[in-house]
């Protein structure tokens, strides 16, 4: 790209720093550097105008910018010169000298326009607090250079604090939104783990996969895809975030939810319908209906000479249902004492043993037995 595209006064980098600046700063920084390095390349080289936002130390650290000279001394690549006056040719100068003068003036003008456009984008991306801190009492942001703005951002937003960590872990535990597809969810988690790694707190593969599985707890297709993943990788040590995301993206969209796969019996699925009809009645009408039904039933029993006895299949209540990851909801045993789970420690972890329902961890048996 030879010249900078002119920008309007409201252009800004995305994401900008007006909200949760520390949490988006790494992405903002990458976008800023990508933009700056892609401008005026035919004039300044492959680094574009990055030299006009980086500090001297940052400029020297760019790969290839520090090279040894003939004596073996490391020499830092010079930045494009904006300060030395361009001397106009005098008298009857040769056409070549005049042409070189015109080219030099044009190129410097292009670089200066690019720096000005970059500064406008930076200012439009800043939170009000940063503008307040950087502004000159009389001249506002006019006398502040892009390099000074960038140095301020590096100092104030490149290090996470405790509040930021709390937000990160809250977002990692949040369920997948209906408006997000699986790629979007993976991107969110990938960015959050990248923030943790950049802060010196890298996540383990176990943590990454656990958070992603937890985010799918309310998504039936995602849970089914997780079950496929767990079966393909029965050993926890072999499970990776990349493999999990690939498996979910591949299988989840193709899974069609049904009443059976959602874990509802005909009776259970009919119950909400009956409840819905009951809601439309007021208490008085419902009481009258119950009273009339009881009288009709008593009259019918008297006529037929029958007595009230429980059906042959009736079983007295045996207390609340217990849950086992392998055997579902039943009265027999909880998962913590299940012989099948305890007998397969490589397949079932402590999380499976402690499961309270079929949603966490994903893939539990949703069946309800007597």
162-182 pLDDT, tens digit each: 999 999 999 999 999 988 899
* Residue 277: domain span: 267-304
Q: Is the pTM here over 0.75, yes or no?
A: no
Kindly report the CA angle at 72 between 71 and 78, in degrees rounded to 5? Answer: 90
Of residues 63 and 313, more confidence is placed in 63
Is residue 262 included in any domain, yes or no?
no
Of residues 108 and 352, more confidence is placed in 108
Helix (H, G, I), strand (E, B) or coil at 68: strand
Q: How far apart, in whole angstroms, are the C-alpha atoms of residue 196 and residue 337? A: 37
List CB contacts of 104: < 8 A, sequence separation 6 or more: 86
Residues 331 and 282 in one domain: no
Length of the chain (residues): 370
Cβ atoms within 10 A of the Cβ of 203, count?
19
Residues 141 and 166 in one domain: no
List CB contacts of 19: < 8 A, sequence separation 6 or more: 127
Instruction: Identify the pLDDT of residue 340.
Output: 85
Residues 151 and 79 in one domain: yes
* pLDDT at residue 210 is higher than 90: yes
Residues 207 and 152 in one domain: no
Highest-confidence segment of 239-248, 287-296, 323-332, 352-361? 239-248
- pLDDT confidence tier of residue 304, bands split at 50, 70 and 90: confident
Residues 38 and 109 in one domain: yes
Q: How far apart, in whole angstroms, are the C-alpha atoms of residue 267 and residue 62? A: 68
List CB contacts of 20: < 8 A, sequence separation 6 or more: 164, 167
Encode pLDDT of 236-270 as tens digits. 999 999 999 999 999 999 988 765 555 554 544 44
Question: Could you tell me how far CA 238 lies from the centroid of its own chain?
Answer: 23
Q: For residue 364, give both structure tokens.
A: 């539990």
Residue 31 backbone class (left: φ over 0; alpha: ψ -120 to 50; beta: rest): alpha
């Amino acid at each position: 790209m030879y010249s900078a595209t002119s920008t309007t006064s409201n252009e800004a980098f995305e994401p900008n720093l007006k909200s949760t600046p520390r949490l988006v700063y790494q992405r903002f920084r990458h976008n800023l550097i990508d933009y700056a390095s892609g401008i005026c390349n035919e004039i300044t080289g492959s680094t574009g105008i990055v030299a006009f936002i980086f500090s001297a130390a940052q400029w020297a650290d760019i790969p290839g910018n520090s090279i040894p000279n003939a004596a073996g001394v490391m020499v830092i690549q010079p930045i494009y010169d904006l300060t030395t006056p361009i001397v106009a040719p005098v008298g009857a100068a040769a056409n070549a000298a005049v042409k070189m003068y015109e080219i030099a003036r044009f190129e410097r003008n292009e670089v200066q326009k690019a720096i000005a456009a970059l500064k406008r984008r930076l200012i439009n991306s800043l939170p009000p607090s940063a503008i307040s801190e950087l502004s000159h009492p009389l001249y506002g942001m006019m006398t502040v250079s892009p390099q000074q703005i960038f140095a301020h951002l590096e100092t104030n937003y490149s290090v996470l604090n405790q509040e930021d960590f709390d937000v990160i872990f809250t977002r990692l535990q949040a369920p997948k939104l209906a408006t997000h597809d699986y790629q979007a969810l993976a991107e969110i988690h990938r960015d959050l783990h990248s923030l943790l790694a950049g802060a010196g707190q890298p996540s383990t593969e176990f943590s990454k996969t656990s958070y992603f599985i937890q985010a799918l707890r309310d998504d039936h297709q995602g849970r089914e895809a997780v079950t496929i993943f767990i079966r393909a990788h029965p050993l926890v040590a072999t499970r990776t975030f990349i493999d999990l995301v690939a498996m979910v993206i591949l299988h989840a969209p193709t899974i069609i939810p049904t009443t059976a796969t959602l874990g509802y019996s005909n009776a259970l699925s009919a119950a909400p319908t009956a409840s819905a009809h009951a809601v439309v009645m007021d208490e008085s009408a419902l009481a009258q209906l119950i009273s009339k039904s009881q009288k009709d039933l008593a009259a019918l029993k008297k006529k037929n000479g029958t007595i009230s006895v429980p059906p042959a299949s009736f079983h007295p209540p045996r207390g609340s249902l217990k849950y086992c990851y392998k055997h579902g909801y039943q009265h027999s045993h909880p998962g913590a004492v299940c012989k099948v789970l305890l007998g397969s420690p490589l397949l079932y972890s402590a999380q499976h043993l402690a499961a309270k329902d079929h949603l966490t961890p994903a893939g539990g048996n949703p069946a309800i037995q007597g």
